[in-house]
Amino acid sequence: MRENEPKEKVVVVGGGFAGLNLVKRLDKSRFDISLVDRNNYHGFPPLFYQVASSGLDPTSISFPLRREIKKRGKGVRFHIGDVAEVDVTRKVVITQYEEIPYDKLILAVGTTNNFFGNDKLIEQVFTLKSTDEAIRCRNEILDRCERAAIEPDAEKRRRLMSFTVIGGGPAGVEIAGALGEMKRYILKRDYPEIPMEDVSIRLIEGSDRLLHTMSEKSSQDAFRDLKSLLVDVKLQHVMKEYNDNVITLEDGTAIYSEMVIWTAGVTGTPFKLTGTEVKRGPGNRLVTDEYCRVKGLDGIYAIGDIGYTETPLYPRGYPQLAQVAIQQGKFLAGMLNGGPTKPFRYADKGSMATIGRNRAVADIKGLHFDGWWAWMVWMFVHLISLLGMRSKLNVLLNWMWSYFTYNTALRLLLRGSQYPLRGSMWDKN
């Protein structure tokens, strides 16, 4: 690039695993970079379930984006905003606050909850796709425990403490395991007024096994571990509807459950793409070639969960995992910076899930691990993936403290205006 030549404007939408890894590595002397995100922090979805189950403080897994981009020197501007539209003809990204022009656009907006057309569920169930959703879930669980502890009527108590997780993927298995642990170790100690038999935890999965993206052995071990935590696992059952606290399954079975946590599906984050005929691919994702370029759109790339690339090894697209997002962010930075341009290839480092204390399953390079060793590997991998030494130490300390004491200081019911004390003068419902 010649001196005084204007720099190319690169706009990156989404500061998750894909977007942040890209922005950190883009050549600031070459590009004028803008990062846009609806939040001013980078969240860590693999540990949202621990926020929801009061195992971790949300601030220990949330990282200010401004600080993260400053660490790599000047040259990146952060814009807060929810991107509702990209106008391809005018080459602008449109948020509720402004229009941001681009020469190159990188979409790294991830996915959102998929309710498969049952939009009524949005209001009725709890989800784990963002830090806010995890906090909402935590508050609901704690609020229910507090109310059950002062409820003299056993039937009402049982209703308050009826939890159902829909979806047996990693997120569903992990939150069900955390609830099982809570029932077994925490309630007895913090809420002695609630008899254990009044607490019911159920997991409903449509397919014939849990963790269907992992090995058969991992599925079986996860099933066994959840059973040992007294979680009632129902396989090959699909939820049809949820009304008045009753879940109706496809076979007509009715199950009463006052709190439902939905982890059953995701879909590409929606936003309008105007000035083009390009349509979304499977899972509402943007179809890309092996260089992360959105097919049919010049100068626009999609990385992470929002991108969909078919390859001979992954004919149904890459799995929606943090590792894919991180690797694509790094790959695209290298390519845009002018590095070698071999197609992107995902290097699978394995997958794992934890099912409470001392229990995890891991499939790494064709080998299966479970139990304590898998749990240690799981903890190590998550710790090193967290940004910043302060967060790593904070999370490690929290885990060690709860391991030895079965206690955390985080079971605080902190109500924002979105979550008033029920039945109080502020409760409009």
Ligand X SMILES: Cc1cc2nc3c(=O)[nH]c(=O)nc-3n(C[C@H](O)[C@H](O)[C@H](O)COP(=O)(O)OP(=O)(O)OC[C@H]3O[C@@H](n4cnc5c(N)ncnc54)[C@H](O)[C@@H]3O)c2cc1C
CB 344 within 8 A of CB 292: yes
- Shortest distance, CB of residue 273 to ligand X, whole angstroms? 12
Between 61 and 171, CB nearer to ligand X: 171
- Shortest distance, CB of residue 317 to ligand X, whole angstroms? 12
- Shortest distance, CB of residue 71 to ligand X, whole angstroms? 17
- DSSP for 370-416 reads ETHHHHHHHHHHHHHHSSSHHHHHHHHHHHHHHHHHS--TT------
Binding site for ligand X (CB under 6 A): 13-19, 36-39, 45-46, 48-49, 82-83, 108-110, 128-129, 170-171, 269, 271, 304-306, 320-323, 325
- Shortest distance, CB of residue 97 to ligand X, whole angstroms? 11
Between 127 and 139, CB nearer to ligand X: 127
Between 172 and 198, CB nearer to ligand X: 172
317: nearest Cα among 111, 24, 23, 88: 111
Phi, psi of 217 (to 5 degrees): -65, -40
Contacts of 397 (CB under 8 A, 6+ apart): none
Between 48 and 126, CB nearer to ligand X: 48
- Shortest distance, CB of residue 367 to ligand X, whole angstroms? 18
How far apart are alpha carbons 220 and 373 in whole angstroms?
A: 17
Contacts of 202 (CB under 8 A, 6+ apart): 163, 164, 165, 231, 232, 233, 234, 255, 257
**Please, what is the Cα angle at 216 between 215 and 221, to 5 degrees?**
100
- Shortest distance, CB of residue 88 to ligand X, whole angstroms? 16
CB 307 within 8 A of CB 289: no
Between 257 and 323, CB nearer to ligand X: 323
- Shortest distance, CB of residue 256 to ligand X, whole angstroms? 26
Between 83 and 233, CB nearer to ligand X: 83
**Could you give the 3-state DSSP secondary structure of residue 261?**
strand
H helix runs in 119-247, sequence order: 121-124, 131-149, 154-160, 170-181, 187-190, 216-228
Between 95 and 408, CB nearer to ligand X: 95
Residue whose C-beta lies closest to ligand X: 16
